Copies of this chain bind each other. A is one copy, B any other.
Amino acid sequence: MKAGDLLERFQAHDWRALARAITIVENDGQEKPLVMRAAYRDAGKDCMVVGLTGAGGAGKSTLVDCLISAYREEGATVGVLAVDPSSPYTGGALLGDRLRMGRHSGDPGVFIRSFASRGELGGISQGAKDALYLYKAFGFDVILLESLGAGQGETEIRNFTDVTAVVLAPGNGDDIQLAKAGIQEIADIFVLNKMDRPGAGSLHLQLSAMLDLLPAERRPMLVRTAASKGRGIEELLSAIESAYARSEGTRGARERARIEDEIFSGALSRWKEAVKGQVARLADRVSAGELTPQEAAALLGGQIRLGEPFGGGADEEER
């Protein structure tokens, strides 16, 4: 399949073109820049990205399974991206697994892939990021991003979602810590899963008490579910819908800020290398008592000179 054909078929919602594009991007194929430029261009489509984060054992995958069924019943197409090394989808393999959840296997409206997380605490790898933008460009109605949260790692995932749900369950050790982290990072929804299990009542009380301390406009919704029995899913769907509606005004600006941040951070590592010698000389001068680190930083900060304005295309860079 030629790159031009691939893009055409991708835009025509050919699922094999999506799978092929993911493979190209994963393998760092020659067509990757072409594919990813198109993905970033087309990613602005109206597509809801819902993040589900939580400790292992909270039942995230069962919840995702329920959400897939519910959205499919409404006729929506669903892309699932699992960034969780313990995710059952992977069957133990961490990377590059094309997989299907049992009861959605064969459903052409559902596409599921899993990716290794970067580091153990749920950071999102470049591969997963790329796949997410391919999903967005492909035009799924709903994207479910499942990640392992363990009290702090879910921050990064948060940057990529429109709605974030933190999933807790009774008897899961890390949960209160996770709830605190979720509150700090303003999860949109807390899902208390396994609501039929012992300890669910007291966890619910603890959570409610924590949430009551927040001002109403910043307070996450609290939904109780028992995913393995399909209970509470309707309530969860409404909560997601209402959180998505609330995000309306800020979505564009957040996505723009994310891209700008990625460009700046990416440039940083090159700069760090470029100024290494200067930094070392300045540190010598700090040791010699000539400068404070702040004064040295001001000197270095004043040294940047930008070259000519950027040319018209990326192609010249590639030669």
Contacts and interface: CB of A to CB of B under 8 A. Distances in A.
Interface in A263-301: 263-272, 274-275, 278-283, 286-301
A37 interface: yes
Given A289-B41, A303-B307, A305-B306, A294 B279 contact: no
A263 B279 contact: yes
Interface stretch (A62-70, A78-86, A310-318): A310-318
A296 B317 CA distance: 10
A256 interface: yes
Given A283-B263, A317-B298, A37 B291 contact: yes
A313 B292 CA distance: 11
Interface in A25-46: 33, 36-38, 40-42, 44
A92 interface: no
B295 A314 contact: yes
B44 A289 contact: no
A196 interface: no
Given A271-B301, A292-B33, A264 B279 contact: yes
Contacts of A41: 286-289
A297 B262 contact: yes
Contacts of A237: none
Contacts of A269: 301
A298 B264 CA distance: 10
A205 interface: no
A293 B263 contact: yes
Contacts of A278: 306, 310
B286 A263 contact: yes
B37 A289 contact: yes
A176 to B, nearest CB: 8
**Residue among A266, A269, A274 with max Cβ neighbours from chain B (10 Å):** A266
A177 interface: yes
A33 B37 CA distance: 49
A269 to B, nearest CB: 7
Interface of A: 33, 36-38, 40-42, 44, 151-152, 177, 256, 259-260, 262-272, 274-275, 278-283, 286-307, 310, 313-314, 317
Interchain residue pairs A-B with the least CB separation, the first 7: A266-B297, A41-B289, A270-B301, A267-B300, A267-B301, A305-B305, A262-B293
Given A40-B289, A270-B297, A274-B306, 6 more contacts: A41-B289, A151-B177, A263-B297, A264-B300, A290-B313, A304-B307
